[in-house]
Chain A
Amino acid sequence: MIVAAAIALIQLDSLKTGKPSVIAVAVTSIAVFAQEAGAAAGTFARGAAASVANAPRLAEQNAELREKDRLLRIENARLREALAAAPDARAIAALAEQTGAGTLATIVGYDPESVSRSVTIDRGSLAGIAPGDGVMSDGGVVGRVVAVAPLSSTVLLVTDGASKVPAVVERGRWWGIATGTNTAIRLEYVSQDAKLKLGDIVVTGEGRSFHAGLEIGRITSVDHPDGALYQTAIVTPSVAFGRLAHVLVLRHS
């Protein structure tokens, strides 16, 4: 009875204070090692399965990728030239380099019940990570850190229903709030005069977790009801969350 009461009280106290409980710290610290092993095994198994499944298409894919690579090299050279020609953009790039790109982390776990869209990463407060830190991958915005233990952290993905990120439609600088729908992102509170188009890129606005300009995704549908105060758009995330393995944690400023 005493043990049961103690567990309940510890958990409720943690809920009240908003800090991880002793139980949570202990469990996550122990679990992170096992999860790392599990994640490595899972990655290997997925890779092996994908290799076997894709074997007949490899030659075709190789040719396709070589062509893509050639086009990207041309595009890369053009962008380098554009960056060199724009002192402001170069200064921002230099500033990002000075402040440090952040902390690299590996995804080692997921929500055990798949209720929240969250992942566990293998870096925690010992690596300087704090609640509210933004998390991104090479594709774009991943989410933000919501819970931190010494050796691991929990990241709430941008597709979770509880996630809200200030967002801007890049083409017209129209502001909105990007809220998760579990599978995609809904851009809400966009003013009615914004002329949203399918394929428009949505990026982060300056906020608590992210600096402005990080890609969130592309608009795939627009709901523009007559008489409503705002319009809403559905955004497909630029990050493939199913294949996400490594992320970059940006320091909360």
Chain B
Amino acid sequence: MSRTNADIARTRALWTANKPGETGAPAYEPNPPVPWQVALALAAALLWQSSLGASLQFRGAGISFVPLIVAWYAVRMGWLRGLTFGLIAGACEDALAGSTGAAWTLATGLIGLACGRLRGTWFADTRLALVPGAALATFLRYCAFAVAMQSEGRPLALPLTHLHVALWQSAFGAIVAFVVLRLFPRLGAANPHRR
């Protein structure tokens, strides 16, 4: 829905009142994620990855939706909620994997925290940044997972064996992010705290 001139004028007036020295105003309305929709998306992603998605793999790698959902939620909601959501998502993955200890919990929490720090910046609402950002978040989460696994006593050789899987997953993540943002541009819209 397009904004009327009156809406824009009202937002501009509010902005100017709060920031007397600045004349710029946020270009978009606040667009926070709906909690139940995010929870549903996470549950669907976990279910897909742990059942049917396991059969649909390319070179041992399937699409990992969990880091994408966590990163997207975090850049819109901030580091604390991103961290919490990341920990919950990671704990669910650890529960389903069974043999990864708390490695996914820590890695996904860390990604939620890091992405949350980008809230309100240019990275949070620019498709040009979100698409490679999805790949980067997936890969960095895997690196954090590898470090956590090593600290839990597993040899580093194991995560290194799966490095190609992480690279493929990152590429798939970027493709998924691109397609989703093309289909649902609203998901890439800005939040009110853009600096």
Contact = CB atoms under 8 A, between A and B. Distances in A.
Given A38-B47, A38-B51, A115-B145, A120 B91 contact: no
A113 interface: yes
B97 A113 contact: yes
Interface string A1-44: 10110011011101100001101111110010011001101100
Interface in A96-154: 108-116, 118, 120, 146-147, 149, 153-154
Contacts of A211: none
Nearest to B157: A161
Given A41-B52, A110-B54, A115-B145, A7 B91 contact: yes
A113 B49 contact: yes
Interface string B11-33: 00000000000000000000000
A171 interface: no
Interface residues of B, number: 50
Contacts of B64: 112-113
B126 interface: no
Interface string B21-63: 0000000000000000000000100111111111101001110
Contacts of B80: 1, 4
Contacts of B90: 11
B51 A108 contact: yes
Given A4-B84, A27-B95, A111 B109 contact: no
B83 interface: yes
B105 interface: yes
Nearest to B86: A4
B179 interface: no
A110 B51 CA distance: 6
A3 B85 CA distance: 10
B97 A162 contact: no
Contacts of B169: 113
A118 B99 CA distance: 8
B51 A7 contact: no
Interface in A147-173: 147, 149, 153-154, 156, 160-162
Interface residues of A, number: 48
A46 interface: yes
Contact of B162 (A27, A109, A115): A115
B95 A113 contact: no
A182 interface: yes
Contacts of A42: 51-52, 55
B60 A112 contact: no
A157 to B, nearest CB: 10
A31 B48 CA distance: 11
Contacts of A146: 98-99
B71 to A, nearest CB: 15
Contact of B158 (A15, A23, A112, A161): A161
Nearest to B113: A4
A50 to B, nearest CB: 12
Interface of A: 1, 3-4, 7-8, 10-12, 14-15, 20-21, 23-28, 31, 34-35, 38-39, 41-42, 45-46, 108-116, 118, 120, 146-147, 149, 153-154, 156, 160-162, 182
13 contacts: A4-B109, A7-B109, A8-B109, A31-B50, A31-B95, A112-B53, A112-B93, A113-B104, A115-B159, A115-B165, A116-B97, A147-B98, A182-B162
The 10 closest A-B pairs by CB, nearest first: A154-B98, A38-B51, A110-B54, A24-B95, A112-B49, A11-B102, A27-B95, A147-B98, A7-B87, A4-B84
